[in-house]
Structure 1
Amino acid sequence: MSTDQATRSRPALRPPVSRAPASPSLGTMLHATTSSISVLLLIVAAGALLHQPMLVPPLAASAALVHSTPALPLAQPRSLVGGHLLAALTGFAVLAVLGSATWAAALAGGLALAVMMLSRTQHTPAVATAVIVVLQAPRPARFLPLLLAATVLIVLAAMAATRAKRGVPAYPSYWW
């Protein structure tokens, strides 16, 4: 078979069809960006003021998740607040039993994921909260109220942001 015949007998190569979601509008991107920046300014300031800067990264990931994909189950208040609190409690339990070690932090992250899955409060950024608890060994009486306040702040900021922009479905999709 000649090269010309082989080329003709092959099906035409088509670019793969992307299954990625469509790009959001510029207005949607700007709205998500400004609303997440607003809540992160408060969280970063509180973390610095209360000497808990390591708490900020998982909360920043949570804010990004909530403001960019507010309809996802992972972004709902049940998962956001419940996931972080359960992950922190899992981290404190591992810390109490095994101490502060890198392998214990990894175990805490994995166990936190299991606890969240069992309780139907999956929130992937919260895995980092469990890891931070084991690595940093913060005082629970100070850490847990700060974590609760920060997660509630993220929920309230998302609620305000969705009500401020017309045509956007209200956040949250559900509470419990």
Structure 2
Amino acid sequence: MNLGAPGHYFGKMRGITRGSPPRVNGAEILWSWVGAFLGIAAVACIHRWFLADTDLRLLIGSLGASAVLVYGAARSPLAQPRNLIGGHVLSALVGVTCWQWLGFVPWLAAAAAVATAIALMHLSRTLHPPGGATALIAVIGSDQVHAMGYLFVVVPALIGPLVLLLVALIVNNIPSDRRYPEFWF
């Protein structure tokens, strides 16, 4: 059975290019590593210095995914400041609202939060995939996260990405062959 035969389900699909993603050079890998290390370290240190004695959380999982985009794929439209900040903030608003209105049915709140966040990010041209995780965190987070209410939109969903952005503006512009951002708005 030839799986690559024309017309076969696994054959050539329209609009899909076969092959592996292109390799990046060692310098690109190094600058991505430096940016991600410094960005996440900055968020974690700010949390430790200013928020360690509070119930607030600055470091959330979706910021790790943002670091991949902002430092590892800095030219992607999904990694630009508008998307980074707008995607997290809008998604946090949606997530908190869905928890408050639908939290009595957690599966419904989770599904509505992620789906609505995606739709609103599309409509506002702020699509940032980690935003979906931020919306979900607002729903499935701990009692401490839920007790924050709309403060979750500021800490971590606004301040965390702002810190990543500040580090990206420095690190991504040190090498002459990298430029960040590609656009602001």
TM-score scaled by structure 2? 0.77
Report SS of the residue matched to 1:163: coil
Q: Which runs of 5+ in 2 are unaligned?
A: 1-11
Tell me, yes or no, if the aligned pair for 1:82 and 1:121 is still in contact at 8 Å. yes
Q: State the alpha-carbon separation in 2 of the partners of residues 138 and 61 from structure 1.
A: 25
Change (3 A) 1:51 1:36: farther
Q: Name the structure with the higher helix share.
A: 1
Task: Map 1:107-118 to 2 at 5 A.
Answer: 107-118=112-123
Pick one of 172, 175, 181 that aligns with 1:165: 175
Alpha-carbon distance, 1:42 to partner:
2.1
The RMSD of aligned alpha carbons is: 2.2
Output one character per residue of 1:102-141: Cα deviation in whole Å (capped at 9) or x when no partner: 3311221111111111111100111011111112224135
Alignment length (residue pairs): 160
Task: Map 1:93-132 to 2 at 5 A.
Answer: 93-99=97-103, 101-132=106-137
- Which structure has the bigger radius of gyration? 1
Task: Map 1:137-152 to 2 at 5 A.
Answer: 137-140=146-149, 142-146=151-155, 147-152=157-162
Alpha-carbon distance, 1:154 to partner:
1.1
Alpha-carbon distance, 1:29 to partner:
0.2
TM-score scaled by structure 1? 0.81
Alpha-carbon distance, 1:164 to partner:
1.4
Q: State the alpha-carbon separation in 1 of the partners of residues 30 and 46 from structure 2.
A: 24
Change (3 A) 1:43 1:27: same
